[in-house]
Structure 1
Amino acid sequence: MKLHRLTLTNYRGITHRDISFPDSGVIVVSGANEIGKSSMLEALDLLLESKDRSTKKDVKQVKPTHADVGAEVTAEISTGPYRFVYRKRFHKKPETELTVLAPRREQLTGDDAHDRVRAILAETVDLDLWQAQRVIQSASTSATDLSGCNALSRALDVVAGQVDETPVAGAGPVDALLVDRIDEEYRRYFTATGRATGEWLAATTRLRSADEEVARCAAAIAEVDDAVRRHATLTGDLAALASAKSAAAAELTAARTAAEAIAVLTGELAQARVRAGAADSTHAASLAALTERRRTRAEIDERTAAVTRLQQEAETAADDADTAREMRVAADETAQQARTLLEACKQRVDAAHAAVALLADREDADRLAARIAIIERHQRELDSTTRDLANITLTAELMSTIEKAAAAVDRATSAVDLTSARIEMIAAADVDVAVDGEAVTLQTGQSWSAAVTGATELDLPGGLTVRVVAGATATSTQAALDRATETLGAVLREAGVPDLDAARALDARRQELQAAGKQVRAILGALSAEDSLEALRARLADVRSRLPAEDGLFDATTAAVQDPAAQRRELLEATAAHQQALLDCQTHTKVAEAAATLVAERELRAARITEKLAVVAEELAAAGRRLAEARATVSDDQLAIAAQADADAATAAAAEVARLTEELAGHAPQEVATRLDEAQRAATSAAARHDEAAEALREVAAQLKVFGTEGRKGRLDAAETERERARADYGRVQRRARAAQLLRTVMGRHRDAMRSRYVDPFRTEVERLGRIVFGETFEVDVDSELRIGQRTLSGRTVPYESLSGGAKEQLGIVARLAGAALVAKEDSVPVVIDDALGFTDAERLTRMAEVFDAVAGDGQVIILTCSPQRYAGVQTARHIELAS
């Protein structure tokens, strides 16, 4: 397949483009980004694959946005024995036209043309190879997949010696039909992933169902046998459980008798414990009364000692409070003196501040007055300059007009001199001559000359008159000079100057005044940047209003002018004295506050001790009253005798409780209770088991009656018969399925062996071209799918996926060019490379150019790029540049 011409009209942003391609070799198509290089390959695919009325997204996207027209694509292609021109218009007024030029002429339109082209391509082109032989921008580094290309497989078969003759174009491998039939037979029994399907799945399912049915019927028969065994077992168990039930009832009666005896002893022990508890309570009460009597006597002794101690502490606290009061009085007097001194120092500082403030106001007034004087002086200068400028009527524009008019007079004068005749006279003796009525006196040897621009008369002594008439040119130049002179005079009069020199002098004076005014304005702007003149005058008036009426600052006592430096020193000294007085005042104030706090604390302590003394004295009196009242009721000796009697009674009650406890322990009450519980549980359990066994026996008997009416043995026999039939059918299908599987495995192994033999020619061609780029140590590993798995360089092997983007891109192009070199001439398709080698350095680009030169033969290699300099080293390349 070869592409001879491609024409795009109104395709995306392309208005019209017509490109003719050479029949063979490397073709570099270059153009700027977004000029539509990739669109050419896209348009060719749409032309060959999509119908003109297609509404697919790919077709909709190419509709032009700049005009309401349909996109058109035309291509001239040759493939096999055919050569045809194919055109389609999409979107608006769609149409398809086909003109077959060879081997015989045909013309078709519409779907017939589309179907005819698809048939020609299916007959003559390996479409998988056409798709594989592309390097596009979005997948330039992806691995090349040539496994499905029949044209390349046939070529590799020929190179590997698998066939003796070159097959016709489009023929498949020799064993393709046999492999297809084997796959068809295999698919009767297995899916693509090897799972059972079809007859094999049905036979397997039938056998599995038959096995499950036999298992269910056998389980039903086993259920009947189990019910018979359970009936016999339950009959024997029921008799044994009846005997166990009677024994458990007898044991329960004996346990209950022993428990009743334990209950009698337990009641007697409880009564004894109640009596012992009452005796203990009585003893505890008498003992508590005796203890309270003793505690009251001890409390009276303790309170008496506390009263004596607190009286001594109260006297001491009163003395300490008096001392603190004396200290507070002294501290308050010292603090008051410090505050008086602080106030005097503050008055001194205020007076010094006032004096320094007056000094600052006087200095500020002098500074403001000087600044205002400077501003007023510069303002007067500016006013004078402004008045002088106002008196000058000459402006820069008027001066420019004067200069132009003077230049015009000069040019006119020069023209007059060049075009006018001249009269020259030299006196041989003293003579008087009249020129146009004006007397001219010449002395001996003196000369006179003048230009003649009009009619000029010379009256010579002796009655001779000479009339000189100028030519037309001199007259016209003189007229131009007169006009220029009149213009200059009018401008000079307008400017108020007599001549050009005066105008220039006046203009220089104007410029000097303007510069001086600009300078004075800048000075005034700087002086008035912060405050205006009015603001400065207002500030000066405000400062002077704060100054005293006298001229200078005077001491009120001596009437002498005060020294500013002395006033500032006085302010510093007064400030320092004030700070020291403030520190002293704060210190004495804190001392006075501490003395006051100490007085308060000592007075509070004395009050607390006095209050505590009163409380303790009251408590001592109350304890004395309580002791007297208690002794009036019971004396101390009587209270002791009653406590001893209550102790003896409590001891006797405790001995009775101990005796009964020992007797109860001898009857082992815990064991009796445990035996009673066990007997009750055993009797209950035996009765329950007896009832359960009787119920189970009744259920089994009823179940056996039902089983006898179901015919379970007949169903088991029928299920076993069906299983034998399913097993025979399963074996028959299994043999066929395994045979198909084995045959497919063997054929696959042989096909892989064939592929491994034609991998070598492909790898050899890839390594031949790759060594041009990577050097003589370059090797690759190619799998049976003709994919490059890894690259070896200088003995170092790297997987393809781990290579850099540039190396992947270069290997991809080399693999496609190797495939193009191996494919038979009649099976070849164009190799299209879209803007590749962007990851490649300069040295590798040079070597890749040698690869392109090495494969430049009968096939087409079409390179689309925005950087044609990448392929400048391809010697055999022909370049086509796209215009925008």
Structure 2
Amino acid sequence: MKLHRLVLTNFRGVAHRDIEFPDSGVVVISGANEIGKSSMIEALDLLLTVKDRSTKKEVKSVKPTHADVGAEVLAEISTGPYRFVYRKRFHKRAETELTLLAPTRAQLTGDEAHDRVLAILSETVDTALWEAQRVLQSSATAPVDLSGCDALSRALDVAAGSSDGAAGDADPLLVDRIEAEYLTYFTATGRPTGAWAAATARLRAAYDEVARSAAAVADVEQAVLRHAALTTQLAAATERVEATEERVSAARQAAAAVAELTRERDTARVLADAATATHTASSAAVNERRRLRAAIDERSRSAAELIAVAAESAQTHAAAQQAAEAAEAAAEQARAVADAAAVAVDAARTDLAHLVARDEADRITSQLVKLDVARAELAEIDRELFGNTMSDALMAEIEVAARAVQRAADQAELASARVELVALADTRVQVGERTVELRAGQDWTAVLGTPTDIELPGVLRARVVPGADAAETHAALTAAGEVLADAVRRAGVQSVEEARAKDARRRDLQSAQHRLQATVAALTGDETVDQLRARHAELIAGQPDIAGNTETARAALMTARAAHRVATERADAQRASAAAAVTACHEAAVTAGVLREKLGTAQAELQAATERLATERRAATDDQLALAAEADAEKVARSGAEVIRLDAELAAAQPETVAAELDAATRVLREAVREREATATALTELTATLKLYGTQGRKGTLDAAHTEREHAHGEYLRIERRARAAQTLRTVLLRHRESARRRYVEPFRGEIERLGRIVFGADFEVDIGTDLTIRSRTLDGRTVGYESLSGGAKEQIGIVARLACASLVAKEDTVPVVIDDALGFTDPDRLTRMSAVFDSVGGDGQVIVLTCSPDRYAGIADARLIELTA
């Protein structure tokens, strides 16, 4: 598989990019960070694997954010006998187009084109190898996984020369038949399946059925034993019920006697309580008569006192009313003074606003002058920058070309012939097209990279012919010089130094441009120049002619505010005084009214109490009430003595003991009856269960289960022998195949060590597992596991392994090796050696390097450089 061309349009941040790749060799694609180098790999994967209408997050993430358009990817690819141009547009107006160029021309669209490309890739490309031959930024140090690469396996089989008829080269049909036989009895993970699993399940079910049937027979035997136990338990429960019923009868008779005594005692208590209530009422009547006489005397004294207090309260209310009227008049006068001070504050504030507007207009005038000067300087710099054709990319190209010329010159000097002439007398020497004048004793030296004639006119002619290496290095120097001259010419200068001076001037102009742009931005702020001019015109329009300045106006405003504040405080104080006087007047009025109401109430209560005492004395005199109270006290004493006698008789009968005995006997009887009924119910249910067991034939079922178990065990043994035999045969075959794998790992290890020794030295060795993964590295006699190596060493070994794979696989199986911004952990010496590895691989394959630092790969002699621009 080879990638000839890749075109991206509106793909993530890439507006348009069209790159053509050489059919073989190393191509270095360089560009700044986030310019979209990794997006090229992602675009190729989406083109080859995802339909144009897909809604996967991988497709959504590449939709451009700067325009409402669909992302497009086009690639020209050749693989096997096919060569085709394949294009897809995602997101908006999705479409797929395929143009087959070879072996026969054809055009397809939509899903038909997608399916056709998948079929071509499935037929001609080892997709596992295509995935493995990538060194991505996210997995540069991860071990290379080549275990599933069929193309590499075929190449290693050929390189190992496996033809001795070992088990590892067994007939694939035989291997498939053994595997099929194994899968008849086992899954791919080694678990039983098919007939083997069925026989195992049948045997397990037979054992379960025997256990279940035996348990059922045991249940019958257990039920017979429980029936006999329940019959004995029912007879004992019946005897306990009869004995407990006699105990309950005796306890009930004793309880009836106690209840009779309790009723008599309760009746005596009722009579005693009635006598006590009557005595309490007669005593209360006597006490109430005394209290009523005392209350009449107290109310007479209170009424006399209230008359004097009410007269004094009326005088206080009149004085408070006069004070309130005077305070209201003073508050009104203070409010008028405060209003006049507020008018003065508003006038001072208006004058200050006009003066502030005048100062703001003056400030904007100065700001506009500075803006005009800065914009004029910025326009001059923009004009000069427009005429400066130098760019960062062109300067970088000149620097790279200059370094290439220097390297070529150094190599040419080392490889060229060196001629030294010493004049024994004054003479003239013709060196090629050049005439050299030499005085006696003077020496002259030259380095010659091409065949050159040296002639002493009329005396001697010599021809200096450098070796082939000198000619090559001289040609390389000439070519590098031409590249440098072309770059200098495109920059519009005569030399590298002039280009550097022109680039320095461009950078100075850009710096001044940024400074002036920042000045303009700072002067304008969030406004434009037109907005500033409009605001200036608005500020000066209709501005009144006011004398003074803002400081004087602020002082006048502060003075007016202070006077207003003093007047307001005085008005507030007067209002508070007036409010307090009004409140005092209201409180005096309320107090006078309350005293008047209290006096009326006291006089009414005194009259009512006097009338009530006269009414009660007409019904019963004070002496009659005293005699009735004494008679009621004697009745209380007689009824209390009767209650004490009955309490003594009831205590002697021990009512708590009698009640406890009755409760205990009743509870025992209840439990005995419940136990008898539960036992009788359980016996009835068990009898019915035994009748049901007798109709189920559980013993016959147990015998049948034993017979099924014997048959299942026999079948299990028969199938087990066949399954174990298939398992053993497969194990032996796999062991021999593993041995054969170890044998063809050697060519892969040899190629890795050949390339790795260019980088790490002559004692470089690796240990390769049968899954073609690198397990350890040996250097200077010390072996280190792969995971313990440094990030740089892992990255270098990973690239070496992929290049080794590329050199081993057959020409028709090759895929591009893609290296995305790798060798960032590599020191300069190893970078030079890695360049030699790239040079040594060669071949018909493609190696695509994506990097933001092209100097890392400058040592690759035959590499083609493609520089990306935004």
Structure 1 length-normalised TM? 0.54
Return closer, same or farther for 1:312/1:140 CA change in 2, 3 Å cut-off: same
Checking the alignment, whether the CA contact within 8 Å between 1:145 and 1:787 is kept in structure 2 is yes
CA distance in 2 between counterparts of 1:320 and 1:309 reads 18
- In structure 2, distance between residues paired with 1:685 and 1:580: 98
In structure 2, relative to structure 1, the CA distance for the partners of 1:714 and 1:318 (3 Å cut) is closer
Gap change, CA 1:605 and 1:149, over 3 Å in 2: closer
Alpha-carbon distance change, 655 to 29 in structure 1, aligned in 2, over 3 angstroms: same
The match for 1:91 is: 108
SS of equivalent to 1:194: coil
Counterpart residue identity of residue 210, structure 1: A
Q: Residue by residue, what CA displacement relative to the aligned partner does 1:534-553 show, whole Å, maximum 9, x if unpaired?
A: xx9xx9xxxxxxxxxxxxxx
Q: Distance in 2 between matches of 1:228 and 1:67?
A: 84
Structure 1, unpaired ranges of 5+: 75-85, 97-110, 160-164, 361-524, 540-572
Any idea what SS the aligned residue of 1:72 has? strand
For 1:89 and 1:801, locate their aligned partners in 2 and report how far apart those are by CA, in whole Å.
53
Corresponding position: 1:621 with 2:607: yes
| Residue-by-residue CA offset, 1:561-613 (whole Å, 9 max, x unaligned) | xxxxxxxxxxxx99999999998888677656655544443344234323323
CA separation of 1:663 and 1:196: change in aligned 2, threshold 3 A? farther
Structure 1 distance, partners of 2:234, 2:661, is: 26
Residues 608 and 189 of structure 1, relative CA distance in 2, 3 Å threshold: same
The change in CA–CA distance for 1:618 and 1:844 in structure 2 (over 3 A counts) is same
Q: Flag the 1:319–1:792 CA change in 2: closer, same or farther, 3 A.
A: farther
CA distance in 1: counterparts of 2:82 and 2:659, whole angstroms = 101
Specify the code of the residue in structure 1 equivalent to 2:245.
A
Q: Summarize the Cα distance change of 1:205–1:582 in structure 2 as closer, same or farther, 3 Å threshold.
A: closer
Closer/same/farther in 2, CA of residues 709 and 618 from structure 1, 3 Å limit: closer
**Equivalent residue, structure 1, for 2:23:** 21
Aligned residues: 622
- Once the two structures are TM-superposed, the CA of residue 71 in structure 1 deviates from its matched residue by 0.7
Deviation at 1:832, TM superposition (A): 1.3
Equivalent AA in structure 2 for residue 144 of structure 1: V
1:652-707 per-residue CA deviation (whole Å, 9 max, x = no partner) reads 43443344344334434444444434444544444454444445444444544454
Q: Deviation of residue 862 (structure 1)?
A: 0.9
SS in structure 1 of the partner of residue 283 of structure 2 = helix
Say if 1:810 and 1:582 are closer, same or farther in 2 by CA, change over 3 A. closer
Q: Note closer, same or farther for the CA distance 1:624–1:753 as it changes in structure 2 (3 Å cut).
A: farther
**2:836 pairs with 853, 863, 867, which one?**
853
Q: Which moved more, 1:214-223 or 1:169-178?
A: 169-178
Aligned to 2:161: 166
Question: How far did 1:222 drift?
Answer: 1.5
The answer for the alignment partner of 1:189 in structure 2 is 185
Could you tell me which runs of 5 or more consecutive residues in structure 2 were left unpaired when the two chains were aligned. 11-15, 49-74, 352-535, 546-558
**Helix, strand or coil for the counterpart of 1:813?**
helix
Assess, with a 3 A threshold, how the Cα gap between structure 1 residues 9 and 686 changes in structure 2: closer, same or farther.
closer
Which residues in structure 2 correspond to 1:261-340 (within 5 Å)? 261-318=257-314, 320-321=316-317, 324=320, 331=326
**1:609 aligned residue (592, 595, 602):** 595
The alpha-carbon deviation at position 214 of structure 1 amounts to 1.2
Say which SS state the counterpart of residue 864 (structure 2) adopts.
Answer: strand
CA distance in 2 between counterparts of 1:841 and 1:590 reads 85
Provide the residue aligned with 1:516 in structure 2: none
Structure 1 pair 529–94 and aligned structure 2 pair: CA distance change class (3 A)? closer
Match of 2:549 in 1: none
The answer to whether the 8 A contact 1:189-1:198 is kept is yes
Contact 2:28–2:848 at 8 Å: present in 1 too?
A: yes
2:624 matched to 1:631? no
Aligned alpha-carbon RMSD (Å): 6.3
Contact 2:268 2:639 in 1 (8 A): yes
For 1:675 and 1:527, the matched residues in 2 are separated by 112
How much identity, in percent, do the aligned residues show? 40
**2-side partners of 1:678 and 1:274: how far apart?**
32
Cα distance, 1:327–1:228 mapped onto 2, change above 3 Å: closer
Match of 1:724 in 2: 710
Q: Give SS of 1:196's match.
A: coil
Residue among 211, 218, 223 paired with 1:222:
218
1:71 to 99, 110, 123: 99
Q: Structure 2: which amino acid aligns with 1:317?
A: S
- CA drift at 1:91: 0.7
Deviation at 1:133, TM superposition (A): 3.1
Q: 1:88 to 1:20 in 2, by over 3 A?
A: farther
On the 8 A contact 1:769/1:814 being kept in 2, the answer is: yes
Instruction: Assess, with a 3 A threshold, how the Cα gap between structure 1 residues 776 and 195 changes in structure 2: closer, same or farther.
Output: same
Gap change, CA 1:796 and 1:785, over 3 Å in 2: closer
C-alpha separation in 1, matches of 2:633 and 2:765: 117
- Counterpart in the other structure of 1:149: 149
SS across alignment from 2:185: coil
Q: Report the CA distance between 1:205 and its aligned residue.
A: 1.0
C-alpha distance after superposition, 1:805-840 (max 9, x if no partner):
x9886654333124345x3x7588435134x33365
Shift of 1:728: 3.7
> In structure 1, how many angstroms separate the alpha carbons of the residues matched to 2:590 and 2:690?
107
Residues 88 and 95, structure 1, Cα contact 8 Å, conserved in 2: no
- Structure 2 CA distance for aligned equivalents of residues 718 and 258 of structure 1: 70
Q: What are the superposed Cα offsets for residues 379-415 of structure 1, whole Å, 9 maximum, x if unpaired?
A: xxxxxxxxxxxxxxxxxxxxxxxxxxxxxxxxxxxxx
Which amino acid in the other structure matches residue 717 of structure 1? D
| Aligned residue identity for 1:250 | E
Rounded to whole Å, the distance in 2 between the matches of 1:66 and 1:236 is 92
Query: Which amino acid is the alignment partner of residue 622 of structure 1?
Result: A
Instruction: Find the counterpart in structure 2 of residue 832 from structure 1.
Output: 816
Map of 2:627 onto structure 1: 641
Say which SS state the counterpart of residue 785 (structure 1) adopts: coil
Shift in alpha-carbon separation, 1:859–1:293, aligned structure 2, 3 A: farther
Which one has a bigger Cα radius of gyration? 1
* CA apart distance, 1:209: 1.5
Q: Is the 8 A contact 2:279 2:629 kept in 1?
A: yes
Is 1:819 matched up with 2:805? yes
Among 850, 870, 873, the residue aligned to 2:858: 873
The amino acid that maps onto 1:619 is E
Q: What is the correspondence of 1:226-241 to structure 2 with a 5 Å cutoff?
A: 226-241=222-237
Report matched runs for 1:776-791 at 5 Å.
785-787=771-773
TM-score by length of 2: 0.55
Shift in alpha-carbon separation, 1:819–1:280, aligned structure 2, 3 A: farther
Taking structure 1 as reference, are residues 701 and 73 closer, same or farther at Cα in structure 2, changes over 3 Å only?
Answer: same
Cα deviations by residue, 1:692-751 (Å, 9 ceiling, x for unpaired): 444544444454445445443233223212213323433454455456556766776787
